[in-house]
Amino acid sequence: MLYTHATIITLNARREIFHDGALLVRGISIASIGKTTALTSQHPDEPIVALEGRIIIPGLIITHMHTAQTLLRGTADDLELVSWLCERIWPLQGNFTTEDGYCAARLSIAEMLKSGTTCFLESMFADRYGFDGLCRAVEESGIRGCLGKIVMDVGTYASDPKWAMHSGLIEDRETSLLGALKMHEKWNGRADGRIKVWFGARTPGGYVDSVFFQARSLFIEARLATTAHFASEMHLCVLRVRGGGK
C-alpha cells in the first residue's frame, strides 16, 4: 500500500521532513519513504491512499499506563492522591472481574490507537484483572505492549497502616512475583513480538526488601525489564536490565 501526498515528519537522524511525501507499506513494515512523485513512479501498480492535508509522524509511546483505571475515569477526582486511591479507586478495582480487566484494556487500547499511540507500558496490572485478558487485547489490536505484572506482598500504601489497599487487590509473593514469571513464560514475545512481559513493582512500601531483591535476581537471570513506582509522588522509573552487570 502506498500512502501519498502527506507531510511526513521522520524524526530520523537527519530530522528529515518530506513535503508531498509518500510512504510504502509492505505487510506490517514501512518499506520506503520519499517524495510522492518518486515512489509512485517506482511502484506504479501499488494501491494508493491519498492523504492530502495530513501529517504522518512516528507512532507515539505511552511510558506509564494503568489500563484498569480507564473504566474509572473521572471518579472522585476532587480528592487528593491517597484518599482517591484508598477510599475510592482501590475499592472499585478490588471488585473488578477478569471481564472488567479485559474490557478496560480494550477501551484503553482503542483510545491509544485513535490518538496515534502504537506502544504503551502497563505499569502494574493486578492478578484479579486477568493478565491473560490484557495480553489478548494487545494481541487482537495490533498495538505493542510492555505489560507489567504487579510485584508486591504488602497491602498498605507507603508502609502506612492507615492507608490500606482493598483486600481484593492484595497479592502475596507467589501470586505476584511467581505469577509474573508464569505470564512471562506464556506470553512474552507473542503476537509477532509485540507483547513484552515486565515486572511491575509497586511503590516501595508495597513489598518487603527480600521480595524486591529476589525479583531483581530473577529479572537479571531471565533478562526481563522492570518498571517501578518510586517516591510518594509516584514518579516513574524504568529499568532495563540486560544482564552481565550492565
Residue 168 and residue 232 in one domain: yes
pLDDT band at residue 231, thresholds of 50, 70 and 90?
low
In a domain, 246, yes or no: no
N-terminal to C-terminal alpha carbon distance within the chain: 42
Residue 108 and residue 230 in one domain: yes
Residue 39 and residue 75 in one domain: no
Residue 37 and residue 67 in one domain: no
- Which of 6 and 202 is assigned the larger pLDDT? 6
38-47: pLDDT as tens digits: 999 999 999 9
Question: β-strand 160-164 against 156-157: which pairing, if any?
Answer: antiparallel
Residue 102 and residue 8 in one domain: no
Burial pattern 124-138, b for ≥16 Cβ within 10 A else e, equals bbbbbbbbebbbbbb
Query: Could you tell me the CA-to-CA distances from 68 to 100, 101, 124, 175 in Å, in that order?
Result: 8, 6, 10, 18
In a domain, 245, yes or no: no
CATH number of the domain that 14 lies in? Answer: 2.30.40.10
Say whether pLDDT at 85 is over 50: yes
Say whether pLDDT at 201 is over 60: yes
Burial pattern 197-236, b for ≥16 Cβ within 10 A else e, equals bbbbbbbbbbbeeebbebbeebbeebebbbbbbeeeeeee
Residue 107 and residue 168 in one domain: yes
Supply the range of the domain harboring residue 235. 60-240
DSSP letter at 75 equals T
93-146: pLDDT as tens digits: 999 999 999 999 999 999 999 999 999 999 999 999 999 999 999 999 999 999
pLDDT at 159: 61
Domains held by the chain: number? 2
Give the global pTM: 0.84
Say whether pLDDT at 196 is over 60: yes
CATH number of the domain that 228 lies in? Answer: 3.20.20.140
